[in-house]
Structure 1
Amino acid sequence: MAADLKLAALCFLLLVSSLPLLAHAECECETSEEEHDKAGALKLKIIAIFCILVASAAGCGIPSLGRRFPALRPDTDLFFAVKAFAAGVILATSFVHILPEAFERLGSPCLVDGPWQKFPFAGFVAMLAAIATLVVDTIATGYFQRAHAKKASAAAGYLEASDADHTQGGHFHGASAAIASSSFAGESDDGAQLIRHRVISQVLELGIIVHSVIIGMSLGASESASAIKPLVVALTFHQFFEGIGLGGCIVQARYRLKSVLMMSLFFSLTTPLGVVIGIGISSGYDENSPRALIVQGLLDAAAAGILNYMALVDLLAEDFMNPRVQNNGRLQVIINISLLVGTALMSILAAWA
């Protein structure tokens, strides 16, 4: 069911971004006269595919090492610090990398027709995407928690009925029923928290995937070797840090190995796949065409809204309000510094990306 919700949300975002294409707008913006080295650019794109693939897989896999290295387990201070760093990376990605791109594309002078110059669509779409993420987040969490509560209630009811059939040992069975009921309550709380982490990991991956496809296609469609070189380095670090954040959420969700591998593989392949698509369409792709500007601008804005919500609500607020953090001043200082370092490093990368 969670997979269906994720797929439905992705389809909704793509549908919304495609609606403006029904209105055709003509624009004759001139492309730059920069000399293109197609052979050199293609070589760099192939290098980029492998670098980004390895960095994404490594970043997503690091949090899973807690099984072998106790210091990286979800209940350690180091894990909180790493997750805060990754959340800072995702937050900076939203505000510093993606949202400015959305404003630039949807405010382009090439979009002379239509309402694009009269209304801040980038901020509006980002706001709607954040609200939509909130709706999906709450509905999915509520649905699965109710389903889990029904199962726990049915199990507790079965135990009480079984206890009633053995009345000859009334006090003993009554005590055992009370202990079992308390145990079920603890398991119910743990199950609700687990469901929350699973919803967070899936919604976060959705937001990252939307952005990853776009940046991959932009790199793949470029024919300028001088523009691609810094992008390869920036995107490699970008995907590595985002992978750490997503990997931390996946670890907390406690998926089975098959699901962990599928989610990690899906994340790792998304940007390289976008690069391959960009290479395929590079011959007829014009990044200054109204259609390209509208589609990329709306998708960038939607991705910014999703990642902004996830970073602030589901990652930072979730951990910063955790009783363990609230009761440990030293840990509060550590994760605040880690957050600032993450935002600073990703913001600096904006100078090259």
Structure 2
Amino acid sequence: MVMDTADLRWIATGMILIVSFAGVGCPFLAMRTNEKLLHSTFFQLMRVLCTGLVVSVALLHVLADGQDYLRNVSEYPVADAAALVGIFLMVAIKEMGTMALHYLKPPNKNGVEECLLNKEADHGFGHTHGLPSIELHDLDLAGQPLRRFVVYMMEVSIMVHSVLVGLALGVLKKRVAILCLTAALLFHQFFEGLALGAVAVKNGFSFRCSWHLFLTFTLACPIGAVLGIFFADQYDPEDYRTAWTLGVLNALAAGTLLHIGLVELLPEDFRECSGCRNTPPRWANLLALFVGGTIMAVLAVWA
């Protein structure tokens, strides 16, 4: 029997809202204090552990719930197909942003600017927990309209997929799955906000002029969670239409989480970083990844 977890989901939504604001605001604060604190071994290992949590939650809980909803209404593997659509949707968001950037960039840039724009496009339209500001540390980027366009496009891209990720939390019904996904999303939102804020700082955005950045990123994931809570609370086990709705929403959310975990987070977690200090050894990263996955695999026995 699945208990009513609406209160727990509302609390999780509030926590994510606070952490999202803290994450996007950290680069503005770090410019005045010490940004090296964000590169500690502990934070890097927790990042990898949360990647394991995200992937295992997607497969063992979110997708499984979608299959449960749809099993009795269709013999076709609708949940798997919807998860595939979710994966392709995330790819499309990234690629459309990248194409827009390359279409609008001026043709008279030098080689250094070209290289930097390509790097920033990778950071902006993907989903990274890295700090792109470090690569731009000694450059004066203020006053370049194209650089500001990068930030705006990055903001829109992150906003769309944050809504989808929040949806994954909102439609969950199992207490253990909600707690674990909330823990993963807290790190997810913090580090993603960190990347977005870092790009904004290095592109000449002041704290006062970044209100739209704070507003959209802080509210995107909670809005998705609220929508998910609304749809989940309308569930009637006797109505096949609600089974279709919640099943497809869960499966889409699972595909979104799978893409984020396997395509965006995992390569970034194991990327070589020659200039980084306090980088954990690879065996420690692997151990953290397995621990994150094992936690959800064990909890799936009861939840």
TM value normalised by structure 1: 0.60
Matched, 1:126 2:83: yes
Cα distance between partner residues in 2 of 1:123 and 1:345: 23
Matched, 1:265 2:219: yes
Matched, 1:142 2:92: no
Cα distance between partner residues in 1 of 2:18 and 2:224: 15
Q: Is the 8 A contact 2:166 2:225 kept in 1?
A: yes
Q: Is the 8 A contact 1:325 1:332 kept in 2?
A: no
The letter for the 2-side match of 1:70 is E
Larger radius of gyration: 1
Cα distance between partner residues in 1 of 2:49 and 2:249: 25
The letter for the 1-side match of 2:122 is R
Match for residue 12 of structure 1? none
Q: 2:242 aligns with which of 292, 298, 314?
A: 292
Q: Could you say if the C-alpha distance between residues 296 and 252 of structure 1 is closer, same or farther in structure 2, counting changes exceeding 3 Å?
A: same
Cα distance between partner residues in 2 of 1:62 and 1:314: 22
Shift of 1:291: 0.4
Q: 2:16 aligns with which of 50, 56, 68?
A: 56
Q: Is the 8 A contact 2:167 2:253 kept in 1?
A: no
Q: Is the 8 A contact 2:51 2:292 kept in 1?
A: yes
Q: Is the 8 A contact 1:234 1:352 kept in 2?
A: no
The letter for the 2-side match of 1:262 is T
Cα distance between partner residues in 2 of 1:286 and 1:247: 35
Q: 1:98 aligns with which of 24, 38, 62?
A: 62
Cα distance between partner residues in 2 of 1:248 and 1:145: 26
Structure 2: gaps (5+ residues): 128-155
* SS at 2:194 equivalent: helix
Q: Could you say if the C-alpha distance between residues 339 and 53 of structure 1 is closer, same or farther in structure 2, counting changes exceeding 3 Å?
A: same
Shift of 1:130: 1.8
Identical positions, percent: 17
Shift of 1:237: 4.3
Cα distance between partner residues in 1 of 2:282 and 2:275: 6
The residue correspondences of 1:144-183 to structure 2 (distance < 5 A) are 144-148=101-105, 150=106, 153-154=107-108, 156=109
Shift of 1:289: 1.6
Q: Could you say if the C-alpha distance between residues 347 and 261 of structure 1 is closer, same or farther in structure 2, counting changes exceeding 3 Å?
A: farther
Structure 1: gaps (5+ residues): 1-31, 157-183, 220-229
Q: 2:267 aligns with which of 317, 322, 339?
A: 317
Match for residue 190 of structure 1? 116
Q: Which one is further off, 124-133 or 56-65?
A: 56-65
Cα distance between partner residues in 2 of 1:276 and 1:131: 25
Match for residue 172 of structure 1? none
Match for residue 83 of structure 1? 47
Match for residue 35 of structure 2? 70
Shift of 1:306: 2.0
1:198-243 per-position Cα deviation (integer Å, ceiling 9, x unaligned): 2224656545533533653565xxxxxxxxxx72x65244223213
Cα distance between partner residues in 2 of 1:235 and 1:193: 35
* SS at 2:260 equivalent: helix
Match for residue 245 of structure 1? 188
Q: Could you say if the C-alpha distance between residues 265 and 132 of structure 1 is closer, same or farther in structure 2, counting changes exceeding 3 Å?
A: closer
1:53-78 per-position Cα deviation (integer Å, ceiling 9, x unaligned): 343135435655462553443x6655
Q: Could you say if the C-alpha distance between residues 290 and 72 of structure 1 is closer, same or farther in structure 2, counting changes exceeding 3 Å?
A: farther
Q: Could you say if the C-alpha distance between residues 140 and 243 of structure 1 is closer, same or farther in structure 2, counting changes exceeding 3 Å?
A: same
Task: Give the aligned CA root-mean-square deviation in angstroms.
Answer: 3.6
Match for residue 199 of structure 1? 125
* SS at 1:286 equivalent: coil
Cα distance between partner residues in 2 of 1:99 and 1:338: 23
The letter for the 1-side match of 2:181 is H
* SS at 2:281 equivalent: helix
Q: 1:209 aligns with which of 155, 159, 163?
A: 163
Q: Could you say if the C-alpha distance between residues 69 and 292 of structure 1 is closer, same or farther in structure 2, counting changes exceeding 3 Å?
A: farther
Shift of 1:100: 1.0
The letter for the 1-side match of 2:35 is P
1:303-350 per-position Cα deviation (integer Å, ceiling 9, x unaligned): 212221221112212342445399999532232222223223344454
Matched, 1:275 2:240: no
Q: Could you say if the C-alpha distance between residues 331 and 314 of structure 1 is closer, same or farther in structure 2, counting changes exceeding 3 Å?
A: same
Q: Which has the higher helix share?
A: 1
Match for residue 153 of structure 2? none
